[in-house]
Structure 1
Amino acid sequence: MTIAITGATGNIGGAVARALAADGVPFRMIVRDASRAPELPGAEVAVATFADAEASRAALEGVDVLLMVSAAEAEDRLDQHRTFVAAAAAAGVRHVVYTSFLGAAEDATFTLGRDHWATEQAIRSTDTAHTFLRDSFYLDFVEDLVGEDGVIRGPAGDGAMAAVARADVARVATTVLRDPGAHLDRTYELTGPAAITLAEAAAVVSEVRGRTVTYHPETLDEAYASRAQWNPEPWQADAWVSTYTAIAEGALAHVSGDVERITGRAPMSLREVLAG
């Protein structure tokens, strides 16, 4: 069985690559820049971008199982994904493991969740088997929500999110790749151990970091206005703001036991992620 991994220079793909290498499992890393690929035993390197159909097909020749880590946020990300999925099918890839989103749906409030849904549909439209890892928001990003003034601002109301650690997503992906046949055509919901509000998250950050962090619920108008200082493109502004409105509506409050069921290990809490 030949395994290929995208995103090996990033957090999730990199963690999976290191875990497989440590286990002595050979695999292929598909990267945009070979000079940035980690040097790992048993790993070969192929160069391609999601948007380059010809290079992607060549990079995927002979691959049986592909871990497709979703591309960086971009206005054309869905087009990139569709091109890469088509290339995988053309190359004869038999099983695609894709990092999707917990709220993936055609009409998802979190706008980028719609791209994940469409990518899932693109994969389903091929003859390849699939495993969809529907990740919640990442606990690792919670601290990044804190402004310079120590305030988390957003229109999340008092909604809660069962955010998940990237390390747990990587552990699930690694487990699936070790025995892909046990996870054919399955969809998993990857969450943390509990749903927490942003006020509760702020309190945890305060306690662990020893500084005062608070949460201020914004209105929609306030949310767009406060982010205008970064001059985002409309699609990016919508994605930022809908991160919070998805929490407000309760779309991310569901707690799943899939992380523990698949890995045999309970998912990490925000406190554990912050403690490193």
Structure 2
Amino acid sequence: MTDLTRTVGVTGSTGALGGLVTAQLAGADFRLDLRLLVRDASRAPDVDCDVRECTYADHAASLEALRGVETLLMVSAAEAVDRREQHRTFVRAAADAGVRHLVYTSFAGADPEATFTLGRDHHDAETAIREAAAETGMGFTFLRDNFYVDVLPLFADEAGVIRGPAGEGRVAAVARADVADVAAAVLRDPAAHAGATYVLTGPEALTMTEVAARAGAVLGRELRFEDEGVEQAYASRRAAYDAEDWQLDAWVSTYTAIADGSCARVTDDVRRVTGHDARTLEQALA
């Protein structure tokens, strides 16, 4: 089997990012066997490819679904208290199944001490992948995405107010479409990206005040940002939602990671991999 007849597995195809990658690969102009790994086959995109059911937490089902997959896109699991365990179980299944190259959607601030608490989960997943690679020889590529610029406006309440302790910090938020473009490029030619870590950002770092104003102009809706103190942010979310502490930490630290500059770095990695500039906020929302 040559590189032009690889079986490529894609997880998360029922979601926004995985769906974009699936659409690109399903219409590819090269020989490629596409396999979608989903929790519910009835929700899989309507494309001509192999569909297998599994969940990250089920090693046996994942192992069976992954047999024969050579290159795998692992979109990080949904936020959950046991997400680290889910990730590690699925990575183990990929290694046991003989996956040759794993592409993982991580976070731009992935670190065991990341301000954004879920960035710590991503670091743990990267560690698990590196461990599996050292044991089996599996290749890997990490796509460390910044926050998604097309998601930030969704933080607004019914009155159009985005509230959080971000202060005047800046965020180099990236368009999901750009992440999908990078992922598709890596999946097409994994050997060229073996061992690489790409930090995927937009073309500029914006304050949340700027994000709200510019997003509102595109969406035809008045949006504004209102800074909160950290304790105020916890209190407002605790009153509005029946959420566990880990989830509250994740929500609030989204803003504190912007406030402390953790998300301000701008890179040209989107251009380096895809050959096109990263989309602006306006282009991402258009």
With the length of structure 1 as denominator, give the TM-score of the two structures: 0.97
> What is the percent sequence identity of the aligned residues?
57
Give, as a single letter, the amino acid of the residue that structure 2 aligns with 1:22: G
Give the aligned partner of residue 83 of structure 1: 89
Judge conservation of contact 1:107–1:114 (CA < 8 Å) in 2. Answer: yes
Judge conservation of contact 1:7–1:13 (CA < 8 Å) in 2. Answer: yes
Matched, 1:38 2:48: no
Give the aligned partner of residue 21 of structure 1: 26
Matched, 1:108 2:92: no
Provide the secondary structure at the position in 1 that maps to 2:10. Answer: strand
Matched, 1:193 2:200: no
Give the aligned partner of residue 251 of structure 2: 240
Give the alignment partner of residue 68 of structure 2, picking from 62, 67, 81: 62
Distance 2:189 2:18 in 1: 17
Q: CA deviation at 1:208?
A: 2.0
Distance 1:6 1:212 in 2: 36
Judge conservation of contact 1:20–1:26 (CA < 8 Å) in 2. Answer: no
Matches within 5 A, 1:110-129: 110-126=116-132, 127=136, 128-129=138-139
Cα RMSD of the aligned pairs, angstroms, is: 1.0
Which range moved further: 140-149 or 126-135? 140-149
Matched, 1:206 2:202: no
Give, as a single letter, the amino acid of the residue that structure 2 aligns with 1:18: A
Which range moved further: 165-174 or 209-218? 209-218
Which range moved further: 23-32 or 231-240? 23-32
Provide the secondary structure at the position in 2 that maps to 1:140. Answer: coil
Distance 1:273 1:190 in 2: 14
Give the alignment partner of residue 265 of structure 1, picking from 276, 283, 286: 276
Distance 2:220 2:188 in 1: 40
Give the alignment partner of residue 227 of structure 1, picking from 229, 234, 237: 237
Distance 2:191 2:256 in 1: 37
Give the aligned partner of residue 138 of structure 1: 148
Give the alignment partner of residue 7 of structure 2, picking from 2, 13, 16: 2
Judge conservation of contact 1:4–1:63 (CA < 8 Å) in 2. Answer: yes
The superposition leaves residues 108-133 of structure 1 with CA deviations (integer Å, 9 ceiling, x where unpaired) of 01000000000000000012111000
Q: Where does structure 2 lack aligned partners over 5 or more consecutive residues?
A: 1-5
The superposition leaves residues 200-230 of structure 1 with CA deviations (integer Å, 9 ceiling, x where unpaired) of 0111023223333221110011101111211
Provide the secondary structure at the position in 2 that maps to 1:125. Answer: helix
Distance 2:47 2:242 in 1: 40
Give, as a single letter, the amino acid of the residue that structure 2 aligns with 1:164: V
Judge conservation of contact 1:50–1:84 (CA < 8 Å) in 2. Answer: yes
Provide the secondary structure at the position in 1 that maps to 2:151. Answer: helix
Distance 1:13 1:207 in 2: 28
With the length of structure 2 as denominator, give the TM-score of the two structures: 0.94
Number of residue pairs the alignment of both structures matches: 274
Judge conservation of contact 1:154–1:216 (CA < 8 Å) in 2. Answer: yes
Q: Where does structure 1 lack aligned partners over 5 or more consecutive residues?
A: none
Q: Which runs of 4+ in 1 moved over 4 A?
A: none
Q: CA deviation at 1:53?
A: 0.3
